[in-house]
Chains A and B, each alone.
Chain A
Amino acid sequence: METIKRTFKRNILALGCILVFACETDVTDDIDLASSPPKLVIQGGLERNVTSPLPQQQIRLTTTNDFLSDEPNPAVTEALVSITDGTTVWIMDHQGNGIYSNSDLSPQIDVTYTMTIVWDGETYQGSDTLNEVPPFDRFFTEFEEGTIFSPEGYFLKFDTTDPANIENYYYYRAFRNGEFVIVPDPGNAQILIASDEFSDGQQIIGADINGEVPFQVGERATGQQLGISEEYFNYLFQLFTQTGNTGINFGGNPPPATIRSNIINLDTPSRRAVGFFYTADVEEDTLTITE
């Protein structure tokens, strides 16, 4: 079903592009956008990575700024951040530039972690549960020729077996020479995340890590399969739908709206935070592209 949706959306886009051929104008300098008071932004979450264990767990806090501003988001440096599993409390210390970290916290499967942030006189809180991810059965590359929808090059592929009788949600990340790569593509909402709704317990063969990111010979390519919660899956779905939107509404995209965070402002609920505090189990593999 997801494949169908993906192909469909892309094709609808192609159709739209043909019809509005060459009628796009950059109006960045002509637009005056209203600004709203800065909101707290949560970036990052807890990752359990057995392949390459993280030296520390970290998140980053910033605030929103005007959409057309070229300035980066201002870092939040004076927040009090802590994470708990219900028994232990880990304090996340500010390391500079809005990054808060802790090297004692080692995330465990099936545990719910709650993060509390005190900032600007108000308390924010949210939680997520860490779900186990199945391993790659195979991790390999395939050369694909370019089409009008996709570039040419070597693509990261994998086989994996979905655990039967439990709901699973996945998120896929690609890294080029250790750098995370992502493209604001309309297909992201369908290809970078997946649920096992129609494939529970089955082996998935030859799936793409990221079909928009080709690799060249000699590059070091890393792929990650993340086990995530249903809430984070829904969040990423909206995130990728919005960032992949090309502005043409032929496919019936939903109207733009704030993507709701899992972090709630306990003092003033209407003063919301954005971003997501996630917990994920990470399966990872790396190879070097050869001919």
Chain B
Amino acid sequence: MKRTVFSILFCIIHSVSAQREYTISGYVKELSSGEALFGVNVLIDGTLGTTTNEYGFYSISLSGGPHTVVVSYLGFQTISEEITLDSDRRVNFDLREESNALDEVVVTSSSKSNDVRSVEMSVATLKTGIIKKLPPAIGEVDVLKSIQLLPGVSSVSEGSSGFNVRGGSSDQNLVLLDDATIFNASHLLGFFSVFNADAVKDIKLYKGGIPATFGGRLSSVLDIKQKEGNLKEFGGELGIGLISSRALIEGPLAKGDQDEGRGSYLLAGRRSYIDLFAPLLEDLEDTQLYFYDINLKVNYNLNDNNRLFLSGYFGQDKFAVENIFGNTYGNSSATLRWTSVLSDKLFLQASGIFSDYNYEVDVLTSGTEFQWESSIVNYNFKPRLSWFISSGNTLKTGVDFTYYEFNPGEISPLNNSNTTPQEFQEKFALETAPYIDFEQKISEKLSLQYGLRLSFFQRIGEELIPVYENGEPLTYNPTLDLFEENAVLSETPFGSGDVIESFTNLEPRASARFLWNETSSLKASYNRNYQYLHLISNSASATPLDIWAPSGPFLEPQFSDQYALGYFKTLKDNAFDFSVEAYYKDFRDITDFVDGADLLFEEAIETQVVQGDGRAYGMEFQLNKNSGKLTGWLSYTLSRTERQILGINNNEYYPANNDQTHEVSLVGIYKLNDRWEFGANFVYGSGRPVTFPTGKFEQEGLIVADFDNRNGNRLPAFHRLDLSATLNPKKGGNGTWIFSIANAYNRQNAATIFFRERTQEINDVDIPLGTTEASKFSFLGIVPSVTYQFKF
């Protein structure tokens, strides 16, 4: 296998180097701010092409002589330049944002998922420009809410920033903020995400065709890049809304008399203040409920070829009721990255990353005051080398090292209460994943991208591992159709650094693009992904009380195979584009709960979960309108997601919690004139599967529900309309007003429907009445809001 790969590589390299070629390379930046631009098309003589990488760098090899270089990026003015090559050259481009005053036709970059020429498929990129024009969900523009408007991406419930990609559960998304893994992307229990749209430059979502450079999660990669800050001049922005306010400053570093600084910085912060309204409600007088976060990015050019980046995020949520309860949780991350242009064809990047997610609960009920703390810390080192061999042929190779420290829980008494301190064992793991990814142009029509990732995961000590009777924590009893917990016979001690269990797996990835003609292409992809961390949480949404369990002696790694096929078409000179994709995904060893599981403060997680299989398949349609006064998209997804797990649903396939048959999104942005812009989005989704009772009986004076099938019923369909209007400043002004109405027709979408015995309150006590009722919980009705933004 290895030998074949190398001989193929050798052939390619050999054939490439046989020609007389020169390399043209450089950076593409935004003219006004000096910010690097990612994904810019660089087209040579109308045929050869490449795109810039995350750092705005491109490199392409050409025969000597004159060439026309066209640099284009949606929303920016295209540059066309004649260049004569007689040696390797470094050429940088500065793109000017398309000014509306100069151009009658307004171009808005929409979700650029339908790139006909690119080998990538099942990918969506969104720039903050467009995210900010969409109607805000609850008075706050949200990055994660906007990706839920893309086909194949759905939300777990209305007020949730957890999302599902092609049938994957919400823990199967690798969420990266400047390369740092974010374990919980929600603020205020999911009503907001941790990403501040002001500080985000662009986001890229891989739903499939995930290249070998990413790993660790089954279903998607959400790659979020923070802005770098203005290299040219100092500036800032203030936003004041009903729910939160934000501020941002940016500017050059070591500028001197130059046009551009040698570096730049950006600092952004947000703070919500819903709790300011709490005293209005008598019951909530002593309630605290807020979040804040801070984003920082600094970059510095050591010289023309070497740059350093430092980026950081710190965010926290606080919910507290005086003398009763307190809950604090948050993420912090720091990334230090070095990029170096080693030669015109070699680009090196290396990142050192620290990321921490922690939560803390203070229970302040008098007499039993205690604090519960839990955290996941991980350290990463990710070196990567990109080799731009020739036009259309790029090789990327690198290794991802990750060291994890899980602190599942620690209880300590507060205020000298008599609570016994307790600590669950910490867990440690080491993940090493070397990879190689190759993009190869076979002919004008056929391009391939293929790669291999080798993931090597080790659970290491120090830890005491229980030895269960029968060798496993649970045994299935077919007569009773349930799992029985096995007794712990003894415990095996593992010393610090000792390997408890290790897993080695190969993850092949491949995509192909066949260019049918100039405006249409066919694409296919396959990828296998392994995931060594399991989020054990029943709630369909990501709650702050997440329990992440690493694979080990009693928990197998989960893996998936995804096959996707797509057709991509542009119409009317790129004014429209259309795509349709079909996928089939096979899951193995995904976790679900044994019937009657209880997870709260449970150290032996393995006794509460079982592993089984799943499958997901579907079709996604998307039509984008990219230019004109009205831009936007219409998307439709038809899909099915099922699971089959021993002991659940009579061992038959059942719909997964995130199964959604139909999903429609309609997104429109209308620019009336230079001052007024309007946005609207409408979403419709079939009801989620839920388990409703099939019978009732009485026991110990209470009415008990009986159930036959897991997820055998559906919630009512979900739909809502959000509207917004933006009043841009007059010429020379710098204040913007944003008015919005979320859930415009006040639809009470069901978050859950539950069943219970009716009760009647007699002398402060809820007495059961012996009759039953069904009750619907819905989150928010219509929410109007207004935000004022000020630039300086």
Contacts and interface: CB of A to CB of B under 8 A. Distances in A.
Nearest to B289: A18
A243 B702 contact: yes
Interface stretch (B244-252, B302-310, B732-740, B769-777): B769-777
Interface in B186-232: 189
A183 B650 contact: no
Contact of A25 (B694, B699, B776): B776
Interface in B743-786: 748, 751-757, 759, 763-768, 770-781
B696 A258 contact: no
A56 interface: no
B325 interface: yes
A183 B754 contact: no
Contact of A4 (B419, B480, B597, B755): B419
A245 B766 CA distance: 14
Interface string B358-383: 00010101001010100000000000
A103 to B, nearest CB: 24
Interface in A68-97: 68-70, 72-73
Contacts of A146: 764
B573 interface: no
Nearest to A3: B368
B696 A252 contact: no
Interface in B110-166: 159
A120 B368 CA distance: 52
B706 A274 contact: yes
Residue of A43, A182, A242, A276 with most chain B CB atoms under a 10 A cut-off: A242
Contacts of A239: 699-700, 702, 704
Interface in B577-609: 593, 595-601
B708 interface: yes
A19 to B, nearest CB: 6
A-side interface mostly: loop
A69 B700 CA distance: 19
B320 to A, nearest CB: 10
B704 A15 contact: no
Interface in A2-46: 3-5, 7-9, 11-12, 14-15, 18-20, 23-28, 30-31, 33-36, 38-39, 41, 43
Contacts of A181: 701, 767
A261 to B, nearest CB: 9
Interface string A124-164: 00000000000000000000001011011100000000000
Interface stretch (B492-500, B520-528, B532-540): B532-540
Interface string A197-239: 0100000000000001110100000000000000000101111
A216 B763 contact: yes
A238 B704 CA distance: 10
B695 A23 contact: no
B768 A4 contact: no
B283 interface: yes
Given A39-B695, A276-B699, A270 B650 contact: yes
Given A5-B601, A19-B189, A34-B713, A64 B538 contact: no
A152 B764 contact: yes
A41 to B, nearest CB: 4
A20 B700 CA distance: 30
B545 interface: yes
A23 B768 CA distance: 22
Nearest to A15: B319
Nearest to A269: B479
A254 B593 contact: yes
B324 interface: yes
Nearest to B539: A249
A73 B705 contact: no
A254 B592 CA distance: 10
A258 B697 contact: no
A247 B777 contact: yes
B interface, size bucket: 35 or more
B503 interface: no
A12 B479 CA distance: 37
The range of chain A's interface size is 35 or more
Interface string B620-648: 00000000000000000000000000000
A269 B772 CA distance: 29
B699 A67 contact: no
B595 A33 contact: no
B708 A258 contact: yes
B757 A243 contact: yes
A181 B767 CA distance: 8
Contact of B704 (A68, A182, A243, A247): A243
B693 A252 contact: no
Contacts of A24: 775-777
A184 interface: yes
B534 to A, nearest CB: 14
A170 B766 CA distance: 24
A205 B772 CA distance: 37
Nearest to B482: A260
B698 interface: yes
B448 interface: no
Contacts of A58: none
A253 B600 CA distance: 9
Nearest to B757: A184
A26 B365 contact: no
B591 to A, nearest CB: 13
Given A67-B693, A260-B480, A11 B324 contact: yes
Interface string A151-189: 111000000000000000000000000001111110000
B774 A27 contact: yes
A55 interface: no
B452 to A, nearest CB: 37
Interface in A250-264: 250-260, 264
A248 interface: yes
B703 interface: yes
B700 A245 contact: no
Contact of A7 (B365, B701, B752): B365
Contacts of B696: 64-67, 69, 73
B189 A62 contact: no
Contacts of B419: 3-4
A36 B600 CA distance: 32
Most buried by B among A20, A30, A72, A234: A20
B409 to A, nearest CB: 11
Q: Which 5 residue pairs across A and B have the least CB separation, nearest first?
A: A247-B754, A151-B764, A64-B695, A257-B595, A67-B693
7 contacts: A8-B361, A8-B600, A11-B365, A23-B748, A148-B324, A151-B763, A252-B537
Interface of A: 1, 3-5, 7-9, 11-12, 14-15, 18-20, 23-28, 30-31, 33-36, 38-39, 41, 43, 62, 64-70, 72-73, 146, 148-149, 151-153, 180-185, 198, 212-214, 216, 234, 236-239, 241-243, 245-260, 264, 269-270, 274-276
Interface of B: 159, 189, 283-284, 287, 289, 319, 321, 324-325, 327, 361, 363, 365, 368, 370, 372, 411, 419-420, 422, 479-482, 537-541, 543, 545, 547, 593, 595-601, 650, 691-708, 710, 712-713, 748, 751-757, 759, 763-768, 770-781
Given A14-B324, A149-B324, A214-B764, 19 more contacts: A5-B600, A8-B363, A11-B361, A15-B325, A18-B289, A23-B780, A25-B748, A34-B712, A38-B695, A72-B770, A148-B324, A183-B767, A198-B420, A213-B765, A241-B598, A249-B541, A254-B593, A274-B706, A275-B699
